Amino acid sequence: MTGKLAVVLLSGGLDSTTVAAMARAEGWRILALTIDYNQRHRIELDHAVRVANALAVERHIVLPLDLTGFGGSALTADIDVPKAKAGAPVGPGIPVTYVPARNTIFLSVALGWAEAAGARDLFIGVNALDFSGYPDCRPEFIAAFEAMANTATKAGVEGAAFRVHTPLMTMDKAGIIAAAQAVGAPLHLTWSCYDPSPQGRPCGQCDSCRLRAKGFAEAGVADPAQSPST
Ligand code: ZN
C-alpha cells in the first residue's frame, strides 16, 4: 500500500477501469480524470462516473474539452465508424477512429492536475498488443511523454520525477480481463462501443466492440455488461 496520490485517466471503458482497479489494489489514492471531448460515444461518461463511484476514488473530475472543433476522427466528426461482422479481426493500420494526438492531450491535462495536487504518478490504460493501431498507445510514446513531463514542470526540474504507469502495456485483451478479475474491477459498469444505437446499446461491430468480445471469448468469461440482468 502506497497511500500516495495518483491521477488515473478513466474513460469508463474496460481498460481504464481495469487500470484504476489495479491502482486501487496497490493502495494508490486515486484522482480519476475523465475528459468529455464531446465524443460520439458520450454514454461512456456516465459509465466513468459509475466506475469512479464503485472504486471510491478520492476525487473524480469530468473535464469538458471539446475536440469536435478540430474533428479529424470518426469519434469527433461526422465520419462513419468503420464496422465489420462480429468476430472479424481488427485490421492493421491506423483507423479513422484515431483521435488526433488524443493521449498526448489527455496525459498533458492529467499532468497538470497531478502537479497541482502534489501527485507524481499518472496511470493510463494504453496497450500495445490488442489495440487499434494508435501510435500514442506505444511504449516509445510513454517514455517520450515522461521525459517531456520532467522537463516541462516545476516539480520535474526540482527533482520529483513523474512516472506514467501503463500496467496493461504488454497484455492482450484476455490478459486484461484476467487482471481485472484478480482485482475485482467493476467490468459490469464499463462501456466500449464507439457507435451506440439511439437506445444506448453497443453496436457489436466497431473495432472496440469486437476487441472487447474477442477478449472475453479468449478469457473464457461472459461479458457482465452484456448480460440481460444489467
Ligand atoms: Zn460498437
Distance 105 CA to ligand 1 centre (A): 24
Distance 113 CA to ligand 1 centre (A): 31
Distance 31 CA to ligand 1 centre (A): 28
Distance 158 CA to ligand 1 centre (A): 45
Distance 155 CA to ligand 1 centre (A): 40
Q: What is residue 186's predicted lDDT score, i.e. its pLDDT?
A: 98
Give percent of the chain with pLDDT exceeding 70: 95
Q: What is residue 133's predicted lDDT score, i.e. its pLDDT?
A: 67
Distance 132 CA to ligand 1 centre (A): 13
What domain count does the chain have? 1
Arithmetic mean of pLDDT, 45-66? 97
Distance 59 CA to ligand 1 centre (A): 29
| Averaged confidence pLDDT in the chain | 91
| 2, pLDDT greater than 70 | no
Q: Under a CB-based contact definition with an 8 Å cutoff, are residues 11 and 190 in contact?
A: no
Q: Under a CB-based contact definition with an 8 Å cutoff, are residues 6 and 165 in contact?
A: yes
pLDDT (tens digit, 9 = 90+) per residue, 136-187? 888 999 999 999 999 999 999 998 899 999 999 999 889 999 999 999 999 9
pLDDT band at 75 (very low <50, low <70, confident <90, very high): confident
> Which residues are CB-contacts of 220 (< 8 A; sequence separation ≥ 6)?
none
| 229, pLDDT greater than 90 | no
| 228, pLDDT greater than 70 | no
113: domain CATH number is 3.40.50.620
Distance 43 CA to ligand 1 centre (A): 12
Distance 82 CA to ligand 1 centre (A): 9
Distance 186 CA to ligand 1 centre (A): 20
Distance 41 CA to ligand 1 centre (A): 9
Domain region containing 175: 5-226
Q: Phi, psi at residue 122, to the nearest 5°?
A: -120, 145
- Please state, in angstroms and rounded to a whole number, the distance separating the CA atoms of residues 28 and 109: 19
Distance 140 CA to ligand 1 centre (A): 28
Arithmetic mean of pLDDT, 120-124? 98
Q: Phi, psi at residue 62, to the nearest 5°?
A: -105, 105
| 114, pLDDT greater than 90 | yes
Alpha carbon 186 to its chain centroid, in Å, reads 14
Least confident of 84-88, 105-109, 148-152, 196-200: 84-88
Distance 128 CA to ligand 1 centre (A): 20
